[in-house]
Amino acid sequence: MAEETISLGARLAQLAAEKPEAPAVSCGDETRTYGEFHRRTNRIARGLQALGVKHGDLVTLGLPNSIGFVEACWALWKIGATPQPVSFRLPKAELEAIMELARTPIVIAAFDHAIDRPLVGVEAIAAKSDDDSDLPDAIAPVSKAPTSGGSTGRPKLILSGQPGVTVKEIPEVGGWQLRSDSIALLPAPLYHNAGFGMMMSAMNMGAHLVVMPRFDPEKTLAEIERWKATWIYMVPTMMNRIWHLPEETRGRYDLSSLQTLWHLAAPCPPWLKEAFIHWLGGEVIQELYAGTEAQASTVISGTEWLAHRGSVGKVRMGEMVAMSEDGKPLPPGEVGEIYMRRPEGAPPSYRYVGATAKTLPGGWESLGDIGWFDEDGYLYLADRRTDMILVGGSNVYPAEIEAALEEFESVQSCAVIGIPDDDLGNKIHAIVQVSRPTTEDELRAHLAGRLVTYKQPRTYEFVDEPLRDDAGKVRRSALREARIAALKAEPA
């Protein structure tokens, strides 16, 4: 029997009545209780209506992590509209492409761009109404509409198949192992799908959500100690930067309150994962593999991972299979493209705007990832097919090389791409951001004992800026295109 659901606005009203003085969301030195958050989002919801936002609208939201971000989401849900989050650093051309796909009536952000929609901040919206009484109940037809550039760099919207509802009765333990008494720390960007979904889950559980304005490795440890956080979500890039802090710095903070650390959204180098397991405990470290499309997912604990090193876990929801190039299921141990299928009888979990899914008969869909299953049903990922580099007839997966490079103490971030080569077809090029002066010879010596010769970069490029965004994502295709264009522009 299906669980009874209520609107996201009704759940917030329920929490505000049950625990009005309990902290709902904090950021820096500012905290809103559930009562305050409910009343203020009522007011912001009316401000949105005054600006012409209607039931069913997708509304582009480009704010940095803040209480205002969370308030804007619940205000939109209360009038049956859908948050459509984007990076607050989004360039104008990409913003305009997304606005066109979303048909957003306004943009909630502080961009400097001149755009053809009203550009408003949360305080300006709140100023349009002083009525904080409850609104008529409304359910957004779509709960969220995150964006993705994927391997092509062309933006698309991924509309959730779930409306703006949650279960009526709060379970003792909800999704992501959250509880009503959890203190959930989010240093990851809320505009990214994983952070956004965890924000929703924490608030719907009645937990205390603590949002960091931006990630900082030592500040994250300090915030765990300050709030006695029991739960945290990070991307592997964040874990890497924390691990590269001096050992005495990591040991300075009390992390004993931490019960759960989730990581997802990007591959985690095995050496880094093992280091965190031994540091914080196997049952604390949890990993999920899925797409924003949410057809299926795998989960693995740190303890399980030690017995299945490198795996992203067993399928917990839906179905997954490794397929050959001619669309046939592969036996255990053989590498193929990973296809997913939602649970039998389940409604569609998403809808694309601006793209078409890659499908096979029988309801199978691919996100482009490559991998294999072992005899016990554990999935191991290689990389995305679009990122794979063919070197002298051998398949090379950038994530493997990047993981080895990031093990070097001064490497803060890196990206590995293939550059066309007359001899080998492609040569491996490593783009590296370092924390101190580092030579190619140092990196070559580091990789010599870790990678077979044909997987080692032929050329290196050192850069000053991070190569992954706040969500731990890297667009290798864009980096490759820029390098190839630069080579073509060079005089013969």
The domain that holds 328 is classified in CATH as 2.30.38.10
- Summarize the confidence of residues 155-161 as an average pLDDT: 91
Domain membership flag for residue 342: yes
Domain end position, chosen among 385, 408, 435: 385
Residue 436 exposed, middle or buried by CB count within 10 Å (0-12, 13-18, 19+): exposed
pLDDT tens digits along 360-389: 899 999 988 889 999 999 999 886 677 788
| Short-list 384, 475, 482, 467, CA closest to 431 | 467
Q: How far apart are CA 109 and CA 112, in angstroms?
A: 9
Q: How far apart are CA 132 and CA 129, in angstroms?
A: 8
- What pLDDT, on the 0 to 100 scale, is given for residue 152? 46
Same domain, 367 and 300: yes
3-state secondary structure of 71: helix
3-state secondary structure of 420: strand
pLDDT tens digits along 398-412: 888 998 999 999 999
- Summarize the confidence of residues 328-352 as an average pLDDT: 92
Give the mean pLDDT of the chain: 92
Same domain, 402 and 354: no
Higher pLDDT, 166 or 423: 166
**pLDDT above 60: residue 153:** no
**pLDDT above 80: residue 22:** yes
Same domain, 475 and 452: yes
* Tokens matching residue 308: 């299945």
Same domain, 483 and 396: yes
Is the Cβ–Cβ distance between 205 and 180 less than 8 Å?
yes
* Tokens matching residue 50: 């005054």
**pLDDT above 90: residue 148:** no
Same domain, 360 and 401: no
Domain membership flag for residue 246: no
Domain membership flag for residue 438: yes
Same domain, 409 and 431: yes
**pLDDT above 50: residue 224:** yes
**How many CA atoms are closer than 13 Å to the CA of 481, on its beta-carbon side?**
7
Is the Cβ–Cβ distance between 166 and 11 less than 8 Å?
yes
Same domain, 372 and 423: no
Same domain, 443 and 483: yes
**pLDDT above 60: residue 151:** no
State the chain's maximal CA–CA distance in angstroms.
Answer: 73
Domain membership flag for residue 134: no
- What pLDDT, on the 0 to 100 scale, is given for residue 272? 93
* Percent of the residues in the chain that have a pLDDT greater than 70, as a whole number: 97
**pLDDT above 80: residue 348:** yes
The string over 449-469, giving b where at least 16 C-beta atoms fall within 10 Å of a residue's C-beta and e elsewhere, is ebbeeebbbeebeeeeeebbb
Domain end position, chosen among 368, 385, 402: 385
Domain membership flag for residue 216: no
- What pLDDT, on the 0 to 100 scale, is given for residue 358? 86
Residue 457: give its domain's CATH number: 3.30.300.30
Domain membership flag for residue 461: yes
Query: How many folded domains does the chain comprise?
Result: 2
Same domain, 393 and 439: yes
Q: Partners of 108 in the beta sheet?
A: 61, 120
Question: In which domain, by residue range, is 291 found?
Answer: 286-385
Place of tokens 């050992």: 247
- What pLDDT, on the 0 to 100 scale, is given for residue 225? 98
Same domain, 407 and 370: no
**pLDDT above 50: residue 320:** yes
Domain membership flag for residue 186: no
Same domain, 406 and 434: yes
Q: What are phi and psi of 410, to 5 degrees?
A: -95, -5
Domain membership flag for residue 348: yes
The C-alpha angle 302, 304, 305, rounded to 5 degrees, equals: 60
Q: From edge to edge, which strands make up the β-sheet containing 425-434?
A: 411-421, 425-434, 459-463
Q: How far apart are CA 154 and CA 165, in angstroms?
A: 30
User: What separation, in Å, do the N-terminal and C-terminal C-alpha atoms of the chain show?
Assistant: 70
Domain end position, chosen among 348, 370, 385: 385
State how far the alpha carbon of 345 is from the alpha carbons of 236, 348, 364, in Å: 34, 9, 14
- Summarize the confidence of residues 243-254 as an average pLDDT: 96
Same domain, 343 and 369: yes
